Chains A and B, each alone.
Chain A
């Protein structure tokens, strides 16, 4: 158990819908990262937050947004969902800007 909690574990929804994925980092970790893993694209970095502020952006679509709240949990919002958004979404945390990432179990999103 990495200490990073993600909910929901599985989510099935329809095209055009909107979903929110939630992540609670390890106790004391200030940085939260979101990654998307699909079969054809591998592990893609989406966005990073550090202590409530956006720190880095990767290949995140405009239909996707995220935030980190004062209690350090983070949410990833995916809207106008398309079939191609079906993937495993991982959240990871680390204490500061260095050190290894600790990954949650992931949220598997299926868009039908």
Chain B
């Protein structure tokens, strides 16, 4: 059974600093997704990573995928308050089912 692990589960970030969060998964997959969720709200798609070595950037966020290591990283550059949210990664497994990690809650403090 596909397992997706994210760490840390909670991260307090200082405004202006850089951080990296991680997503590991247990079985082979070439498709990984990052989503953002604000409290009580829906999940918003951030990135779709489709192949080994894929890198996508949007604003202060950059996501990359290493399928050999079964690892994706989400790098945050110069954190700002607006980035405070919960970030989920999800991996496609058997039957195209998308399995989500538990999410990482980011909190940006001044």
Name A's B-contacting residues (CB within 8 A): 2, 31, 33, 35, 42-43, 45, 48, 55-56, 58, 88, 90, 92, 97-106, 108
Name B's A-contacting residues (CB within 8 A): 31, 33, 35, 40-45, 48, 88, 90, 92, 94-103
State the Cβ distance, B46 to closest chain A Cβ, in Å.
9
Question: Are the C-beta atoms of B103 and A97 separated by less than 8 Å?
Answer: no
10 A-B interface contacts by CB (under 8 A): A35-B100, A42-B101, A45-B99, A45-B100, A48-B97, A55-B95, A56-B97, A101-B45, A103-B35, A103-B43
Q: Complex formed: what's the CA distance from A50 to B97 in Å?
A: 12
What residues of B have a CB within 8 angstroms of the CB of A102 in the complex?
Answer: 45
What residues of B have a CB within 8 angstroms of the CB of A45 in the complex?
Answer: 97-100
Q: Complex formed: what's the CA distance from A19 to B44 in Å?
A: 26
Q: Complex formed: what's the CA distance from A48 to B97 in Å?
A: 8
Question: Are the C-beta atoms of B103 and A101 separated by less than 8 Å?
Answer: no
Q: Complex formed: what's the CA distance from A90 to B45 in Å?
A: 14
Question: Are the C-beta atoms of B97 and A100 separated by less than 8 Å?
Answer: no
Contact of B42 among A31, A98, A99, A105 (CB under 8 A): A105
Q: Is the interface of A mostly helix, strand, loop or mixed?
A: strand
State the Cβ distance, A69 to closest chain B Cβ, in Å.
21
Q: Complex formed: what's the CA distance from A104 to B42 in Å?
A: 6
What residues of B have a CB within 8 angstroms of the CB of A35 in the complex?
Answer: 100
Question: Are the C-beta atoms of B48 and A42 separated by less than 8 Å?
Answer: no
Q: A42-B103, A43-B103, A100-B33 are in contact. Are A105 and B95 (CB under 8 A)?
A: no
Contact of A98 among B31, B43, B90 (CB under 8 A): B31
State the Cβ distance, A3 to closest chain B Cβ, in Å.
11
Q: Which of A48, A88, A100 has the most CB of B within 10 A?
A: A100
Closest B residue, CB atoms, query A102 = B45
What residues of B have a CB within 8 angstroms of the CB of A58 in the complex?
Answer: 97
Q: A42-B103, A43-B103, A106-B42 are in contact. Are A101 and B96 (CB under 8 A)?
A: no
Question: Are the C-beta atoms of B99 and A100 separated by less than 8 Å?
Answer: no
What residues of A have a CB within 8 angstroms of the CB of B99 in the complex?
Answer: 45
